[in-house]
Structure 1
């Protein structure tokens, strides 16, 4: 929880809370607060400093560490789980869980997704189902994999961290 401070609005003294995430221009002039990790949110950093994250509305519940697909939802940019079985390549990942209709802070591939579990350090991983990764690439000769996405995601740094890469994908 961010620290609170006093502000004057409409002739009254009110308590306000510092922002720990920025929505961009709409938050100009707000006082920043450190997040639960003790750091400033990447959304508050100037271009070129830190990961180039994006705030995008989620159209389904997303678990921390999920790989996500960015798409057009009726002309609006939206984010959902990436999935190798249904034509949704991974465009990035999220670090914290997000509920449907909330803004998700999406990190681009080519970073370190540090919210995973059960990884084998040094092992390679590919996009799996429902925002997850798998250590087994799809067999391009298996007819059961027709129209599935084969996308290399990266290499495990530890049991919980995956160094991601922004390789293109192939529809089998």
Structure 2
């Protein structure tokens, strides 16, 4: 099964955000290259919010290019067999934390946001990754900083997309 096919199956099984989910599925139906950065109409990306539920905190990265506190994530790569693998790979690479596991239940949210041409849109599929006990982060080349924030601190430092993802993760953890 291709990554494109996996994304279609994941999105068909995703419950909620029906209009946005439909837009993602329409995009993939119209663009065989819709998983890749080279797709001029936009492309799917995979991200994961790294969560430490025992301490009530999340790890955010200060994105090097955007200068914003965000969850870990980015472009899918040819070696990624599934969207979940892509999200977990990105979270591991950008957090430096080995042993992350995805929160069961598939994606937590979808977020479509504009990016500069030539690609125009990121259609992000957002997961949550659970940090193992004693996790120690390590800054990657893509980050200016990494920092743990308490659940209640996220709204003060991050944009609404991250806040909504955080809310979705907390609801799933409850």
TM-score (norm. length: structure 2): 0.25
Q: Which has the higher helix share?
A: 2
TM-score (norm. length: structure 1): 0.25
Structure number, greater radius of gyration: 1
Q: Which has the higher strand share?
A: 1
